[in-house]
Amino acid sequence: MPLIAVSAVWAVFWGSWAALLPAVKQELGVSAAQLGTALGAVPVGALPAMALTGRLARGRERHALMATTVLFGLAVAGLAAVTAYWPLVAGLLLLGAASGALDVALNLTTGRVERESGRRLFQAVHAAFPLTVIVAAPLTGLARSLGLDVRTVLLVIAVLVAATSLSLPALPVGGGRAAPSGDHHAGRRMWGVALLLGTLAGCVLVIENAVEQWSVLLLEEHRAATPLMASLAPSVYMAALTAGRIAAQTLPPVPLRALYLVAGVGGAAGIGLAGLGDGVPLSMAGFALTGLALGPLVPALLSRSAADDPTGTLVWGVSMVSYAGFVVSPLLVAGLTGPFGLPVALAALGLLGLPLLVRFVIIEGDSA
């Protein structure tokens, strides 16, 4: 399925990039602070690109996905040519823009194919991302151990992205523009719904980003784990995230209201256990529970958004608003870590389950 392939190859880069960062730092001779500042260019580039792509891509989903996939491959190839700090910043800015545009185009295209085919696709497409990250990161580490440099790895990934784009012309998507959005007041109501659902999805993504960025540090510095054992924490979370999405895909449709309850209770309990659990096994179990509980909710929200709004505005809005979770998460955890310490800071993210529980209480049936 081309959509799953695009999601997977997108994840190949991000899984590999995390494993390449030490080599990037060493080859460019930059400090950790400089590297962190450069990485901040990614969301700076992503947000305006997401806004523009949503405006242009609706009704042109297949062509938009083809274009953004090719642009992402070119951005990856551009990073391979970087030899100094400021070109790295510029390259990451362009990469963030291409990645953000691909994010929106992939969600819009998946939503349209779901509507036209009647098939459930969002869970499978979104499951491909964490599963591929789990595989890509250690394979990149192996490539580095065999002597491959950053440039070579990035060029291989760029070729994979380009090859994947060749499958998209055959994607079964209807032609023509999206349905009209109606009057101005209807459009404003739609963006109000997008803000609500995007915020709920953003609560999930804050926790997801925190696990990806801070789980290894938690286990090494606060649980006395070995570097090898600690490095498994993100993979444990990603594996559970994938399992949750595959389960939601293969089982009969689960009401969205039930997913709010599972994510609110399970996500809060899981991240609380991970942060405050006494020992490595309990923290690992907490990360696994967090991923399993939170995994299905964001794809389910996007799927419902696509079904409820044939114009694509709702999917666009939810994608863009929820992305703020990735932007806010590092700042939030860093701010909480100062006065309370990292274990409490991570556990405190369980409070983000409260909006999900409130949504579970106030809606009826299978409403969004």
Choose the weakest-confidence range: 17-31, 148-162, 230-244, 258-272.
17-31
- Asked if the domains 2-170 and 184-362 are classified in one and the same CATH topology, the answer is yes
2-170: CATH homologous superfamily? MFS general substrate transporter like domains (1.20.1250.20)
pLDDT, tens digit, 9 for 90 and up, residues 189-200: 888 999 999 999
Helix (H) or strand (E) holding 188: helix 184-222
Band (270; pLDDT cuts 50, 70, 90)? very high
Q: Tell me what the mean pLDDT of segment 233-261 comes to.
A: 93
Band (175; pLDDT cuts 50, 70, 90)? low
Instruction: Give the span between the Cα atoms of 102 and 83, in whole angstroms.
Output: 26
Choose the weakest-confidence range: 172-181, 274-283, 313-322.
172-181
Band (368; pLDDT cuts 50, 70, 90)? low
Neighbour count for residue 233 (Cβ, 10 Å): 27
CATH 3.50.50.60 corresponds to the domain 184-362: no
364 close to 301: Cβ distance less than 8 angstroms: no
Q: pLDDT at residue 183 above 60?
A: no
What is the number of H-type helices and E-type strands within the chain? 16, 0
Choose the weakest-confidence range: 20-29, 167-176, 273-282, 353-362.
167-176
The predicted pLDDT at position 32 comes to 74
Q: How large is the C-alpha radius of gyration of the chain?
A: 20
Q: Tell me what the mean pLDDT of segment 72-89 comes to.
A: 94
The predicted pLDDT at position 367 comes to 62
Band (102; pLDDT cuts 50, 70, 90)? very high
Give the tokens for residue 274.
Answer: 């991970």
Q: Residue 254 gets which letter from DSSP?
A: P
Helix (H) or strand (E) holding 326: helix 313-340
Domain boundaries, given as residue ranges, for the chain: 2-170, 184-362
> What is the residue whose two structure tokens read 């979370």?
237
How many Cα atoms within 13 Å fall on the side-chain side of residue 261? 12
Band (296; pLDDT cuts 50, 70, 90)? very high
Full-model pTM: 0.87
